[in-house]
Structure 1
Amino acid sequence: MTSGTQPPQADPGNPQHPEAVPHAPREHGAHEAAAPQEPAPYEAQQAGYEPAQPEPAPYEAPQPGYPPPYESAAPQPGYPSYEPQQAFQQDPAAPPGAPAMAGPAQPQYAPQQTDQSAWWHPAAASDPWRDPGSRAVIETRPAPHAPPPEPLPVRAPRARPALGLVIAVSAVTALIAGTLGAAVGIWATRSGPGDGSFLGAEPQTDRDVSSVAGVVEQIMPSVVTVLTADGGNGSGFIVSDDGYVMTNHHVVVGGGTEPAESLQVLFSDGNVTTAEVIGSDPDSDVAVLRIEGDEHPAMVLADSDQVAVGDPVLAVGAPLGLSSTVTEGIISAIDRPVLTENNNGEVESVMAAIQTDAAINPGNSGGPLTDIAGQVIGINTAIASTAAEGEAGNIGIGFAIPINQAKRIADEIIATGSASHTVLGAELGESELGVGVTLSEIIDGSPADDAGLQDGDVLTSFNGNMVAENTELIALIRKLAPGTVVTVVYERNGEEHSAQVTLEAASD
């Protein structure tokens, strides 16, 4: 069925030998009786073939390029006009609406009228396909028999590229891009002004001062390697521009029992100089050296009371003789009670240490433990070991003297040549695990006596820290300076009490 918006296209068949296609009788509405039926223009005679009585062909619209066989209203100029003179006759015996059965009257050709517009012209008055009142009818005919169309070849579906192929292509693309970038860089280096070098591009040497590399770059000139008399080494760091250096007591003692008078120190730039031993304190394991000059880069000392577990730290020194070594870690614990021994195996110092997992090894002793900004929070002093004999390496447990305590001791050594030691004024008895520290004897006139403590009291808390053993209490007392006021909690006769104690320096 053709669309009503365009003239219906008749099947041209074979334009040289058109054949009339017979149609089965159809019922037409009342409006179809008025539509004239046109016979086929001519019949092709074939040998041995008796043509049947021609049947009127339905109205067919002309196909472009062929002269219309029938024009009812406006003939085309240049083509003969075909006008039927007589319509098909209705059989009187046929019921109303039946198709006409009588043969068509003989057509009579008339001269073509040239004063009317073509029927497909928009201005044609009698165009049946543009006149809504027209009684024109669209007729269809069956399609002629033809061999079935040859099926198209089945196209195999395109396989999606595998993930591995995509990754490989991406890698090759990145490699090509990197190669091109390197080539452009080399070309730019060679084509630009310079010293005539053809290798590499200009290096980037500036670093953010807040980065680890930037911090180390600033503090490294202040860290020295201390060469001991027995052929070993320790570490130290400059704390004043006039050349004072802090280190450990056991570093200046070396393999002996008495501090040396002077030692050699090695700077990070390779220079070596002689340092005078100003003094040392075995109880705190702090010593002070001094080198000549008054323009030395001093390190900044932080407030070690403000550090917290988890803070990042740097340990700098010369472990195993490897000068200017830096390791990084965190603070693992604070106020850890640590005992150190001298070369004779005797307990020499007790400290409430900062524990860290930054790698500390023999040779790091006396070097700085800094925060992430390069400010000193402690002096690297000892490591925990599982070795039964001899020296062991780092197992992730190292200890440092809090810098607040070390600075107080160093100031006293510089000022007087020795250091004072803070005391509570009580003899300690045997401790029971998890109970507290027993004050077996209170010394008359001591800070404990002035606070009202009595023999047999069990101290359970000191300055806000729970205590359960003697070493822990001693370490917390020695950490503080004389004159510090602390709160203690103790038990007496099953009842809990508290008191304010003002610590004092021991009288030797």
Structure 2
Amino acid sequence: MDPNFIEIGHRPLTQVKGALDENTFRNPSAEDRIHFFKSEGCVISELQRVIHSTVLVSETPDYPGGSGVIITFDGKKYVITATHVIGDLVAGQYGKPELKYYYRDTHGQVKEGIMSRGNILYDSTTARERDLQATDAAIFPFDGDNEGVEISDQEVPTENSQVAVAVGYPGEHQDGWKDTGKPLLSVGRMFRDKPKEMTPYMRELMAKYMKESGEKEGVDLKVNFTGRVIPGNSGGPLVDVAGKVVGVCHGPRGTLGKEDGIERFSDFRAILRQMSSPS
């Protein structure tokens, strides 16, 4: 057996080592089971930067917790994960003042970083107070020795899904990454839900709800992914075929116990742009 993938799937490693081709990576059928690939076995040049920029959120560098990604945007660098990954930071008096994460510097050495309650730039629990949309993302400043990865300018389609790759540290398969510290990859396709058509009456009710609740209306921040993610992937990046980040992992789409096999990612890009623009 080729040691470069975790055997839970149907796609041979040679396909992931080739180009990220629209025809090769079709939508999986219901009976398909999908690989997690070891990133050290990946030779796709577009993925190297995001592999190097993906972080492990955990107390130790060899134990599963959550994932995240270092982003470079508008001359600044950030580390971004999911709000539910940093739940202990936003739990008030019952939480923790800081969490550890691990990343690789430009020399390939594993370094420790700190996410603290005092330097949260964004999380879903305080988004409304900052006049921002709420989504399952958390943003922190980053000043370590890692160049980070860019965000994608690509619009995620509703009609024709596009090839995408999820990167992270799935807990069930920690044997595949704990010795190297390098994340695992899952390949699938990404798409958005089609906007629901609303009658004039429903639009009026929605406008009234937004006004009364103070909830901020804006763009759709949910991206669907047909590939495989499991606990530990949360907060890890989803990238397009150019290797640029579209969102971070939230979890299965649907109500608990009624998931439809599609994974959901939080598209934080509009939030980051709004945070970076002059007020």
Same fold (TM over 0.5): yes
- Residue aligning to 1:167: none
Q: Deviations over 1:62-101 (max 9, x none)?
A: xxxxxxxxxxxxxxxxxxxxxxxxxxxxxxxxxxxxxxxx
Measure, in 2, the Cα distance between the counterparts of 1:301 and 1:287.
15
Q: CA deviation at 1:352?
A: 4.2
Given the alignment of the two structures, is residue 300 of structure 1 paired with residue 159 of structure 2, yes or no?
no
Corresponding residue to 2:124 among 269, 278, 281: 281
- Residue aligning to 1:141: none
CA separation of 1:362/1:210 partners in 2, compared to 1, >3 Å: closer, same or farther?
closer
CA separation of 1:263/1:243 partners in 2, compared to 1, >3 Å: closer, same or farther?
farther
Superposed CA RMSD in Å reads: 3.8
Q: CA deviation at 1:332?
A: 4.1
Judge conservation of contact 1:301–1:403 (CA < 8 Å) in 2.
no
The one-letter amino acid paired with 2:56 is T
Measure, in 2, the Cα distance between the counterparts of 1:238 and 1:336.
31
Judge conservation of contact 2:225–2:263 (CA < 8 Å) in 1.
yes
Given the alignment of the two structures, is residue 248 of structure 1 paired with residue 78 of structure 2, yes or no?
no
CA separation of 1:312/1:245 partners in 2, compared to 1, >3 Å: closer, same or farther?
same
Given the alignment of the two structures, is residue 257 of structure 1 paired with residue 91 of structure 2, yes or no?
yes
- Residue aligning to 1:443: none
- Residue aligning to 2:37: none
Seq. identity, %:
21
* Larger RCO (CA within 8 A; separation ≥ 6): 2
Q: CA deviation at 1:275?
A: 2.0
Judge conservation of contact 2:70–2:80 (CA < 8 Å) in 1.
yes
Given the alignment of the two structures, is residue 379 of structure 1 paired with residue 248 of structure 2, yes or no?
yes
CA separation of 1:232/1:220 partners in 2, compared to 1, >3 Å: closer, same or farther?
closer
Measure, in 2, the Cα distance between the counterparts of 1:366 and 1:336.
25
The one-letter amino acid paired with 1:272 is K
Q: CA deviation at 1:314?
A: 0.3
Q: CA deviation at 1:228?
A: 6.1
Judge conservation of contact 1:368–1:378 (CA < 8 Å) in 2.
yes
Measure, in 1, the Cα distance between the counterparts of 2:51 and 2:67.
12
- Residue aligning to 1:315: 166
Measure, in 2, the Cα distance between the counterparts of 1:270 and 1:395.
39
Judge conservation of contact 1:369–1:377 (CA < 8 Å) in 2.
yes
**Corresponding residue pairs, total:** 192
Judge conservation of contact 2:167–2:233 (CA < 8 Å) in 1.
yes
Q: If the length of structure 2 is used for normalisation, what is the TM-score?
A: 0.55
Measure, in 2, the Cα distance between the counterparts of 1:349 and 1:356.
25
Q: Deviations over 1:407-452 (max 9, x none)?
A: 246548xx99xxxxxxxxxxxxxxxxxxxxxxxxxxxxxxxxxxxx
Q: CA deviation at 1:220?
A: 0.9
Judge conservation of contact 1:288–1:410 (CA < 8 Å) in 2.
no
CA separation of 1:264/1:396 partners in 2, compared to 1, >3 Å: closer, same or farther?
same
CA separation of 1:399/1:306 partners in 2, compared to 1, >3 Å: closer, same or farther?
closer
Q: CA deviation at 1:209?
A: 8.5
More helix per residue: 1 or 2? 2
Q: CA deviation at 1:310?
A: 1.6
Corresponding residue to 2:103 among 263, 267, 278: 267
SS in 2 for 1:213: coil
Matches within 5 A, 1:229-244: 233-240=65-72, 243-244=77-78
Measure, in 2, the Cα distance between the counterparts of 1:264 and 1:299.
20
CA separation of 1:276/1:256 partners in 2, compared to 1, >3 Å: closer, same or farther?
closer
Measure, in 2, the Cα distance between the counterparts of 1:335 and 1:224.
32
- Residue aligning to 1:227: 58
Q: Deviations over 1:257-313 (max 9, x none)?
A: 2474332112255613122332223232221223443x4222111125354532100
SS in 1 for 2:148: coil
Corresponding residue to 1:405 among 252, 266, 270: 270
Identify unmatched segments of 5+ residues in structure 2: 1-16, 22-41, 126-133, 178-182, 197-214
- Residue aligning to 1:327: 186
Measure, in 2, the Cα distance between the counterparts of 1:411 and 1:335.
29
Judge conservation of contact 2:235–2:250 (CA < 8 Å) in 1.
yes
Judge conservation of contact 1:301–1:375 (CA < 8 Å) in 2.
yes
